Structure 1
Amino acid sequence: MRRETLHNESVAEAIDLIQQAKAAQSQLKTFSQEKIDAIVLSMVEAAQRESARLAKMAVFETGFGNIEDKITKNDFATNDLYRYIKDQKTVGILRKDTETRTLDIAVPMGVLGALIPSTNPTSTTIYKTLIAVKSGNGIVISPHPSAKNCILETARIVLEAAVAAGAPQGIIGCMTQLSLEGTQALMHNPDTALILATGGEAMVRAAYSSGNPAIGVGPGNCPAFIEKTANVKEAVKKVVLSKTFDNGVICASEQSLVVERTIEAQVKKEIAQQGGYILSAEESEQLSKVILRENGTMNPKIVGKPASYVADMAGLSVPDDVKVLVSQQYSVSKTNPYSREKLTPILALYVEKDSKAAIDRCVELLENEGSGHTASIHSDDDQVIQDFSLRVPVSRCLVNTPSALGAIGATTELIPSLTLGCGAIGGSSVSDNVGPEHLINIKKVVYDFDCCVSKAA
């Protein structure tokens, strides 16, 4: 009976929040660019003030990651994103071409349904609400159950700030009664204009099968190719930094190191000197048993945990200060956990005879899992970088940068984003980092061609 009651309450809440957001959005879409921008700035300032508290809430509630890096992600979702969107035109006439007499007019989509993951709960909530309001849309959030409280609190903070700056009440909604049926009601509702789905593969598939437009993000499985011309010390430093950032929960973080045989010894030496622990064959076998569950999916108990914690789970004795567990591997398959996505500080290491074989291995890893997402290369050889970029089936090809940070736009010129499109090959509707520009439709105003020609004559 309790299950049925929760089901009914959750569905009813989803419907009510959508209707509130729809009514609010009908007002918001009439606002000027200046008024929208003032609301967004108020939300940013409120999120900045609460960044540390929200980070602590996220870590204590989910057990994923660490407070310092959660603060950095919250700040990224406010400061970095705001710098990108603050002068962006998203309201009214976007472009005017007097020569061809064409106009591009922004049309907001309506009400967005936003699914928020437990790995990056507060930062993703900040990010999605900001890009929704900036583009003139309402938004209703479905939190991951294991991060419900920190997501609710984040949504409350940005909503109150938005309303204080003149936004209509209800423009941001967040479900409190959580159930699969409630989330399905949010995704299937005809008044949901678009679903922003960030989370597991099954959830993303459900979003795309809802009957409503969706932008979903598939799994990552980023291979990092350290090519023989690279500065090996710097490359390993960046990989370790990236893989340990928030204990590896960003889906664009490196999952495998692929190196050429000529620099194998040098890479292994740097791994050991920079906090990595290279496992023996026996230790690798022991650790492999805790990476995947019996159904072949990633074990949630290792997600976002420090390397020493994961080693203890597997019954391994490693130094207390170890940062990353590294296992040398020779095969790629769905049943080899090291060749798949591992949202924790575990790396596979593949050693190949030359750059061609290394690129082949990177392609094999991505085709096994993570097609469309991200790959990285560390190299000073432009030809090899080009060869790598042409071959790997990804939407983001990163060069000489920490993958987790480069992919989201923290160390690159990509759109600052916590929703990374994977393109058609990855089952996504977009291949970009998602920003406000993906949440508006463009109305084209065009004049008869002959009219344009006669005017020009």
Structure 2
Amino acid sequence: MEIIDKDLQSIQQVRTLIAKAKKAQQEFSKFSQEKVDRVVENMVRASEREAVRLAKMAHEETGFGKWQDKVVKNKFASRVVYNNIKDMKTVGIINDDKDKKVMEVAVPVGVIAGLIPSTNPTSTVMYKSIIALKAGNAIVFSPHPSAKNCIIETVKILNEAAVEAGAPDGIIGAMTILSMEGTNELMKHKDIALILATGGEAMVKAAYSSGNPALGVGPGNGPAFIEKSADIPLAVKRIVDSQTFDNGVICASEQSIVVESCIKDKVIEELKRQNVYFLSREQSEKLGKFILRANGTMNPQIVGKSAQVLAQLAGISIPEYTKVLISEQTTVSKKNPYSREKLTPILAFYCEENWEAACDRCIELLMNEGKGHTLIIHSNNEEIIKKFALTKPVSRILVNTPGALGGIGGATNLVPALTLGCGAVGGSATSDNVGPVNLLNIRRMAYGVRELEDIKASVNAESQSSCESSNLSEDYVQNIVKTIMDKLNK
């Protein structure tokens, strides 16, 4: 019997999926806005019907987080995302400025490659499928191996719902024979128009190195600064809410707390009152050994685990009621695991002399890891809040809200999304919470409104005005005008 290597099978499957998706998208691109919206709405309804079952599948398969919170994420990724985009024009003419005589036309990019993480597997498939089809595209997914079954099942449900509403079969597809070679083929294939990458740093870098356009997100490492004017009990409550929601697997969740020395004791007292456990130095060292692997990357064993499981893993004893573990730290480095992204209920705790020093510490944490992503500030001092907004190297500054839920647009009015751009500083092509607009090309049609003579007259007038206001010599101005005119006449 002939045996075909798995990597070759995987590559062939990817090529078949892309060919099917391309054919489906070419047909789908001719749908009216009404027909597209009907398809997307049916996908949302199917996602809601299966939200509980898929959440349980994801939890059972990955061991991350809490299935109850994954239900909330599934409904957020479907219904909340849909409610934000349902009235958005994404087909045909989307804007017609009669005064400026510029018309904008939405054009789907084509077939999208979707890379899915194990931390938020089913919800990310729902979200990416909905925004991709809302923009008139097809999408083919590469599942994370640790969440393969729940991702493939989610894709099956969504594709069936889309087809039921009139979309061509294959508009949503997924690899089932997984290999790095297959995923590379997906990212590099000539018929892939855009890669939508959510996952580990290495995978996102691979997407940007593929030769195809990509929208990727880097790691989060959001510090939460509690400024002295903050409502301390409420600030702590929000941080605990964020850390315990699905056991902290959302990348916008807080990874450290930074406080001013004048309120240190009050914050520590409140953290303890709200069932946050301060590790001793010995306990911190034991747990720290499990946070990072030998290669310096996050240990998947800790991701999305409860405080009790983390304590058992490290062989330390903590109270049964503990919700979050916290370690007092004074340094920031790649080798200090507490100053890195952890995606589990573990926080670092830093105390600084004043808000300026706290500001510097937050920047240091972000530049260590997570630059371009998210920062959280709890304060009632608008002046300090504004100064933070002006100086921090992040795309999202969240004020008086839980980081995880605020970053994705659940507790804030940011665009509801599970792909959070990190901007150029974070190595991303966008700083947006990614939505359908990011998955469209905009074709602009512009009518002529000026003739060459008008342009020359305008340039001449502007140059003369500039000269008069600057008291430049007449000869100098004439030379400028002559140079401009020569360029226009060539």
- Residue 448 (structure 1) shift: 1.1
Matched with 2:175 is 175
Matched with 1:199 is 199
Aligned pairs, number: 454
Matched with 1:299 is 299
Q: Deviations along 1:227-275, whole A, 9 cap, x unmatched?
A: 0000000000000000111011101100000000111111111111111
Matched with 1:35 is 35
Q: Deviations along 1:135-162, whole A, 9 cap, x unmatched?
A: 0000000000110110011001111110
Report matched runs for 1:47-446 at 5 Å: 47-446=47-446
- Residue 68 (structure 1) shift: 0.8
Q: Deviations along 1:197-222, whole A, 9 cap, x unmatched?
A: 00000000000000000000000000
Give the aligned residue type for 1:194: L
Moved over 6 A (4+): 1-4
Q: Deviations along 1:299-333, whole A, 9 cap, x unmatched?
A: 11001100110011111000112110000000000
Q: Please give the alpha-carbon distance, in whole angstroms, between the structure 1 residues aligned to 2:3 and 2:280.
A: 48
Give the aligned residue type for 2:340: R
Give the aligned residue type for 1:237: K
- Residue 3 (structure 1) shift: 10
- Residue 280 (structure 1) shift: 1.2
Q: Please give the alpha-carbon distance, in whole angstroms, between the structure 2 residues aligned to 1:303 and 1:287.
A: 13
Give the aligned residue type for 2:188: H
Change (3 A) 1:48 1:2: farther
Q: Please give the alpha-carbon distance, in whole angstroms, between the structure 2 residues aligned to 1:407 and 1:450.
A: 45
Q: Deviations along 1:390-433, whole A, 9 cap, x unmatched?
A: 12100000000000000000011111000000000000000000
Matched with 1:24 is 24
- Residue 2 (structure 1) shift: 11
Give the aligned residue type for 1:375: L
Q: Please give the alpha-carbon distance, in whole angstroms, between the structure 2 residues aligned to 1:193 and 1:278.
A: 49
How large is the Cα RMSD of the aligned pairs?
Answer: 1.5
Change (3 A) 1:43 1:406: same
Q: Secondary structure at the match of 1:94?
A: strand
Change (3 A) 1:97 1:365: same
Q: Please give the alpha-carbon distance, in whole angstroms, between the structure 2 residues aligned to 1:398 and 1:105.
A: 34
Q: Please give the alpha-carbon distance, in whole angstroms, between the structure 1 residues aligned to 2:3 and 2:194.
A: 28
Give the aligned residue type for 1:268: I
Change (3 A) 1:2 1:333: farther
- Residue 113 (structure 1) shift: 0.2
Give the aligned residue type for 2:364: E
Q: Please tell me whether Structure 1 or Structure 2 has the larger radius of gyration of its CA atoms.
A: 2
Q: Please give the alpha-carbon distance, in whole angstroms, between the structure 2 residues aligned to 1:140 and 1:78.
A: 18
Q: Please give the alpha-carbon distance, in whole angstroms, between the structure 2 residues aligned to 1:195 and 1:34.
A: 27
- Residue 283 (structure 1) shift: 1.2
Q: Deviations along 1:346-381, whole A, 9 cap, x unmatched?
A: 000000110000000000000000000000100000
Matched with 2:481 is none
Q: Secondary structure at the match of 2:114?
A: strand
Q: Please give the alpha-carbon distance, in whole angstroms, between the structure 2 residues aligned to 1:284 and 1:4.
A: 49
Worse overlay, 273-282 or 252-261: 273-282
Give the aligned residue type for 2:185: A
- Residue 78 (structure 1) shift: 1.0
Q: Secondary structure at the match of 1:414?
A: coil
Q: Please give the alpha-carbon distance, in whole angstroms, between the structure 2 residues aligned to 1:232 and 1:22.
A: 54
Q: Please give the alpha-carbon distance, in whole angstroms, between the structure 2 residues aligned to 1:359 and 1:72.
A: 33
Give the aligned residue type for 1:210: S
- Residue 133 (structure 1) shift: 0.4
Q: Please give the alpha-carbon distance, in whole angstroms, between the structure 1 residues aligned to 2:88 and 2:118.
A: 30
Q: Secondary structure at the match of 1:449?
A: coil
- Residue 450 (structure 1) shift: 2.5
Change (3 A) 1:226 1:92: same
Q: Please give the alpha-carbon distance, in whole angstroms, between the structure 2 residues aligned to 1:347 and 1:227.
A: 17
Q: Deviations along 1:19-45, whole A, 9 cap, x unmatched?
A: 000000001111000000000000000
Give the aligned residue type for 1:40: V
Give the aligned residue type for 1:172: I
- Residue 285 (structure 1) shift: 1.2
Normalised by the length of structure 1, the TM-score is 0.98
Q: Please give the alpha-carbon distance, in whole angstroms, between the structure 2 residues aligned to 1:287 and 1:156.
A: 40
- Residue 389 (structure 1) shift: 1.4
- Residue 296 (structure 1) shift: 0.8
Q: Secondary structure at the match of 1:229?
A: coil
Identity of aligned residues (%): 60
Q: Please give the alpha-carbon distance, in whole angstroms, between the structure 2 residues aligned to 1:360 and 1:149.
A: 44
Q: Please give the alpha-carbon distance, in whole angstroms, between the structure 2 residues aligned to 1:427 and 1:342.
A: 20
Q: Please give the alpha-carbon distance, in whole angstroms, between the structure 2 residues aligned to 1:426 and 1:68.
A: 32
Give the aligned residue type for 2:145: P
